[in-house]
Amino acid sequence: MAEIHLDPDVLSGLQEVMESEYPKLLDTFLDDSQKRVEALRKSRDDAKALGRIAHSFKGSSGNLGAVRLAQLCQRLEVESVGSTADLGALVDQIDHEFALVRPMYESERERFQL
């Protein structure tokens, strides 16, 4: 199954809904996501904290069309409850996925220079 990293339909839908607020939404998401990725890294050994951050991150990345990122967050959220799995590997995957989609959002943002 081909992995979708960023759903272009979601982005066009958001642009329609947000109108002039669309660039700001992208900025906010990037900024917010950066903080969450850092928070995940810091909480590698705290399953409970990981679960909570993953839950929020899942919501916003889902809303912004970062489909793969949302799926990874979902897995982390679910697996943090059992805490038997290697959560660190999942955090790394999320880190990696964000690094992948980040330039895509940035180039989308470039289209709306002030």
Partner 1 sequence: MSNLAPVLEPLTILIAEDSAADLLLLSTIIRRQGHQVLTATHGAQAVEVFTRERPQLVLMDALMPVMDGFEAARRIKQLAGEALVPIIFLTSLRESEALAQCLDAGGDDFLPKPYNPLILAAKINAMDRLRRLQATVLQQRDLIAKHHNYLLHEQRAAKAVFDKVAHSGCINAAPNIRYLQSPYALFNGDLLLAAYTPSGDMHVLLGDFTGHGLPAAVGAMPLAEVFYGMTAKGYGLAQTLREMNAKLKRILPVDMFCCATLMCLSAERRVVEVWNGGMPEGYVHEVATGKRTPLVSRHLPLGVLSAERFNDSTEVWPMALGDRVFLLSDGVLDTADVNDQLFGAERLQQVFAANREPDRLFEDIEQALAAFRGQARDDVSMVEITLQAGEPLRAAEPMYADSGQSCPLDWSVGFEFRAQTLKSYNPLPYLLQLLLEIHGLRKQSGALYSVMAELYSNALEHGVLGLDSGLKLDARGFAEYYHQRNERLAQLSSGYVRVHVQVVPTPTGGKMTLRIDDSGPGFDVEQVLARPLDVNRLSGRGLSLVRQLSSDVRWLDGGRSVCVEFYWEALA
Query: Cβ of residue 67: shortest distance to partner 1, in angstroms?
Result: 10
Query: Measured between alpha carbons, how far is 24 from 53 in angstroms, rounded to an integer?
Result: 22
Query: Cβ of residue 33: shortest distance to partner 1, in angstroms?
Result: 8
| Backbone CA torsion sign across 75, 78, 82, 83 | positive
Count of residues touching partner 1 (by CB under 8 A): 24
Contact between 65 and partner 1 per CB under 8 A: yes
Query: Measured between alpha carbons, how far is 31 from 28 in angstroms, rounded to an integer?
Result: 5
Contact between 46 and partner 1 per CB under 8 A: no
Burial string for 54-65 (b: 16+ CB within 10 Å, else e) reads beebbebbbebb
Query: Measured between alpha carbons, how far is 99 from 103 in angstroms, rounded to an integer?
Result: 7
Nearest C-alpha neighbor of 61 from the set 87, 85, 37? 37
**21, 38, 106, 110: residue in contact with partner 1 (rule CB under 8 A):** 21
Stretch that binds partner 1, among 11-19, 42-50, 82-90, 91-99 (CB under 8 A): 11-19
Contact between 59 and partner 1 per CB under 8 A: yes
- Residues of this chain that bind partner 1 (CB under 8 A): 10, 14, 17-19, 21, 24-25, 28-29, 31-33, 52, 55-56, 58-60, 62-65, 74
